Amino acid sequence: MSSPGSYLPQRRQFILTGAAALLSGCGSIQLIPQPMQPQLYVLRPQVAIPMGAPVNWRLTIGPPDAAASLDTARIALSRSATTMDYFANAAWNDRLPLIFQRLLIQTFDASNRIVAVDRDTQGSESDYLLQTEIRDFEAHYETPDAAPEINVSIQAKLARMPQREIIRSLSVNQKAQASGNTLDTIVAAFGGHRSDHGLDFECAAGHAGIAATSPSARANPPSPGAWCDVRR
């Protein structure tokens, strides 16, 4: 007569075989719901390329700093001065600081007035470094169903290399009213204000660079209009 212990291997085999059959038969059933993929949005600001004389220095663009709440691909919104949230099922096509750095590089490069423009990476050589910090970049709601106001605040600093000596700084605070309470109109409002910031940064960096490299300019710094045409 077989002992009870002799049935244990058979029992285990039976359980494993039954479990395998069940899982293979239910392979198409999702026990855990898959999260909805967000709609991706792209910032494509229309930047007017400024005209003017070229400069003979090289510029690198550092990775922008941002709080953890903005160092993300999610599109931020706020309903009060002390809260922050995100639009559901919507995101930028990359992390916001990386988007911002790429747009700055494209704006400077499109001017064809700087010898070289590149990202600030280990081993890169440049005469000046532009450092930025994204402090605000959200849609602010005064009332739940109304079109939000776009709030953007950026701090920029120009450093002389290789000493990394800060020679100029610029604070940009912009607000714009979205034309509607849809993500398309909200993203369009973000893009419109980003174009203004791109021109501001380009002009500020260019005029600061000329002031730093020319003794006469240091004594009498030119206005931003001396380096580029600023539309305000």
- Domains within the chain, CATH numbers bracketed: 56-219 (3.40.50.10610)
Which of 137-141, 186-190, 197-201 is modeled with the greatest confidence? 137-141
Q: Cα–Cα distance between 8 and 14 in angstroms, integer?
A: 10
For the entire predicted model, the pTM comes to 0.71
Confidence of residue 53 (pLDDT cuts 50, 70, 90): confident
The confidence score (pLDDT) of residue 195 equals 40
User: Checking phi first, is residue 127 left (phi over 0); if not, alpha (psi -120 to 50) or beta?
Assistant: alpha
55 versus 195: the higher-pLDDT residue is 55
Read off the pLDDT of residues 162-172 as tens digits, 9 standing for 90 and up. 898 998 888 88
Please measure the distance between the N-terminal and C-terminal CA atoms of the chain and give it in whole angstroms. Answer: 97
Side-chain-side CA neighbours of residue 182 (13 Å): 5
Spatial contact of 209 and 59, defined as CB atoms under 8 Å apart: yes
